[in-house]
Structure 1
Amino acid sequence: MSWPEAYATARDTAKPLASELTPVVEATGRVLAAAVRCERPVPAFDNAAMDGYAIAGDGPWTVRGRVLAGHAVDGERLLPGTAVEIATGALLPAGAEAVLPYEDCRIENNLVTELRDPPGVRPAEARTAPRRRRHIRRAGDALSPGTLIAPAGRIVTATVAAAALQAGAEQVLAHRQPTVTMLVTGDEVITEGTPGPGRVRDIFTGLVTAITARAGGRMETSRRLPDDPGTLGEALAGACSDVIVVSGSSSAGAADHLHRLLTEANATWLVRGVACRPGHPQALAALPDGRFVASLPGNPYAGLVAALTLLEPLVAALAGRPPTALPVATVTGPAKLMPGGVRIVPVGPGGDLAAAGSVGLHAAAVAGTLAVLPDAWTDGDPAVILTVP
């Protein structure tokens, strides 16, 4: 399968997972299945927009008390000619017509006088009739009930969540977060410590966890498995997540059992090999019960390419994220192209290509992005760009 077709298959095959009511404080990163609307006025009550004195009628004003944010007023209406000292955000007493900031008034003998200082007027000159509603935020000035906060399909960011809480929404209807199980296969793989002769560290768990989270999913568990078909088969059958990612066991060698096991499990092959270098043996299958299996080549760089090609768009689709076009940028430098397929090469911020094999991740880590180069690409042409986690 061509690389663009494989990416599109992973992106377009899966449907968003079912929606569920989710506390707003837990919804960040989730996708809204229904619009969020304002449930109470914002602000919810009349309050002071400045520190100073809430006043009623014409001045000077006799100070009758103090109101701080978070505290109730005494319930008495502010009469003309009176004032209360007030803090920003504090509940405005009934009858208040304006708030005089500290810097705009003078207080002597418990009397407040407003100062004005326009051109040609002495700073000490006082104003007796204040401008009405000045420095007052009335209930509903910003939002009224029913106002749209965020539409369906929007990813809940921290700011969206904060706006929803401010507007009185305690829960939102969001698509369930896709879960991922990671099965790292290989007798040679260790999960901690310094590898001895013939051994390597597991690098896939961290990469897959990051790519899963970026796409709106959650890593549920990661297990290391030996090169044993029985053990792998049991792990596939017992994984309860939406997506199972298998690193290694993806080709046709003596220790590669995944394809046979999936065929025996009556899996539907969606992608079975991609015309790209590196990452050719990658695959994607759907089990009869609806779970997906993404197969990543065991070579680290090839596995990274496969995760960006198949896993990320699949998880994003399950999370309910709308499909978006991959970015395109001008790329320069020499490249060994793949006839009939694409070559995926690290590319730095300036668009310069870097060499990389199927094993080493250093070039990809330094570059930060990968360029997908078709066989007709020439130096200076644009190319699709993948961002590494």
Structure 2
Amino acid sequence: MSADSTPVDWEEARALAYAAGRSAAGPAEAVPLPDADGRTLAEPLLSLTDLPAFPTASIDGWAVRGTGPWRPVGRVLAGGTAPVLDHDGTCMEIATGAMVPAGAEALIRIEDSTRDDAGLVSGTPRAAPEWRLPGEEATKGEELLPAGTAVDPAVIGVAATCGYETLTVSAQPRAALLVFGDELLTRGTPGDGRVRDSLGPQVPGWLRRYGAVIDPGAVLGPVQDTLDAHVDALRSALATADLVCTTGGTMHGPVDHLHPALAALGAEYVVNTVAVRPGFPMLLARLTGDDGRTRFLAGLPGNPQSAVIALISLVAPLLAGLHGRALPALPHVRVTRAVPGRGSQTHLALAALDHDGRSATPVGHVGSAMLRGLANAHGFVVVRPDTQAAAGDTVPFLPLPLLKGERP
């Protein structure tokens, strides 16, 4: 394969990465409900029964038949089967969540009722019905959620309500990380020509947020700056991982061995460099193992911000495809300050969202080797090629994968 390539348009690169993931998605599997959190539905979630499955009281009070006053003939609690209320002038005490007896014509709240010395119940039903009807939320066989839905605790709750014990979910990609660069320190402060590795500690967290499994033992580095060491490390990581991310070595310098290593392994480029700043020397390659399974390698630039841009530009769409999820559409925001263009390349500019998420303000400290700006941002303003954004313009926004409730 040739390492020479004209940079791919950024939007096209995202689409290519996503399509590659969709075409290589692994087989679905059934997992217990508690283990499904963070996974993706591989098939539609259908209701196994009417919801509710039976008429259900939404109040504590009385189920009555005919006109009052009513003579109590029993009690029905949640979890019990209600006997038939088959005579006019009778009632049955009922609890919230209990099955409404057949024959009941109305429910009266306990606070709206009285009992006389003979024990007879009087009261007036409210105008709105006080029970839930079968199928009010869903009917048996109805599609509740489509395939491709990300499973969260709410989805698990819906499934449990329907009676599911397991959910059929897409395979969860396993990832590994190889850190390249003899100049990197793994502990201590930088100095004497060496810099601290910031990608080894942070990339696994980004991968997990995008739905990959990466164990501590799947992070290796710094890998020695020789071609043989690169080939050996890649071959070992690809033996167990569906996706291997590497940091550094994506250019063609004297110690950049990634492209020759990919050639030695028979890899095929999906994307080789992207017309985006920062981060253009990113790449995504595809390899077929001896077992016939497709694996991927994502080459992230060595500069930290560029590496994160490569992650969210190529790895995030790839993982969405591998999970069987839709490629999320980018929201739009209003920029509060002008953002320059980068000529024929897309400019991804770090920005912080306001409290309602509708406006974005560019942040400082945004050099490709810097991380301070990233730590204060919610994502990137997208300025398309041959354009610029003036204050007040509405532009696409590429969000970082924040936890729910973290920041806007």
TM over 0.5: yes
> Which residues of 2 match residues 41-190 of structure 1 at below 5 A?
41-71=50-80, 79-109=87-117, 111-116=119-124, 134-189=129-184
Change (3 A) 1:63 1:194: farther
TM-superposed CA distance for 1:204, in Å, is: 4.5
Distance 2:344 2:54 in 1: 66
Normalising by the residue count of structure 1, what TM-score does the alignment of the two structures yield? 0.83
The aligned counterpart of 1:344 is 348
Distance 1:131 1:328 in 2: 47
Structure 1: runs of 5 or more not aligned:
117-129
Distance 1:345 1:133 in 2: 54
* 209, 226, 248: which one aligns with 2:205: 209
> Which residues of 2 match residues 233-272 of structure 1 at below 5 A?
233-239=231-237, 240-272=240-272
TM-superposed CA distance for 1:372, in Å, is: 3.0
Contact 2:344 2:386 in 1 (8 A): no
Amino acid at match of 1:308: I
Distance 2:128 2:360 in 1: 56
Q: Quick check: 248-257 or 174-183, which moved more?
A: 248-257
Amino acid at match of 1:318: L
The aligned counterpart of 1:125 is none
Q: Which has the larger radius of gyration?
A: 1
Identity %: 32
TM-superposed CA distance for 1:283, in Å, is: 1.0
* 6, 26, 31: which one aligns with 2:13: 6
The aligned counterpart of 1:385 is 397
Contact 1:182 1:205 in 2 (8 A): no
Normalising by the residue count of structure 2, what TM-score does the alignment of the two structures yield? 0.80
Q: Describe the SS at the equivalent of 1:83.
A: strand
Contact 2:249 2:255 in 1 (8 A): yes
Amino acid at match of 1:276: V
TM-superposed CA distance for 1:189, in Å, is: 4.2
Alignment pair present for 1:225 and 2:232: no
TM-superposed CA distance for 1:199, in Å, is: 4.0
The aligned counterpart of 1:287 is 287
Distance 1:334 1:137 in 2: 54
Distance 1:200 1:371 in 2: 28
TM-superposed CA distance for 1:147, in Å, is: 1.7
Q: Quick check: 93-102 or 244-253, which moved more?
A: 93-102
Distance 1:278 1:47 in 2: 58
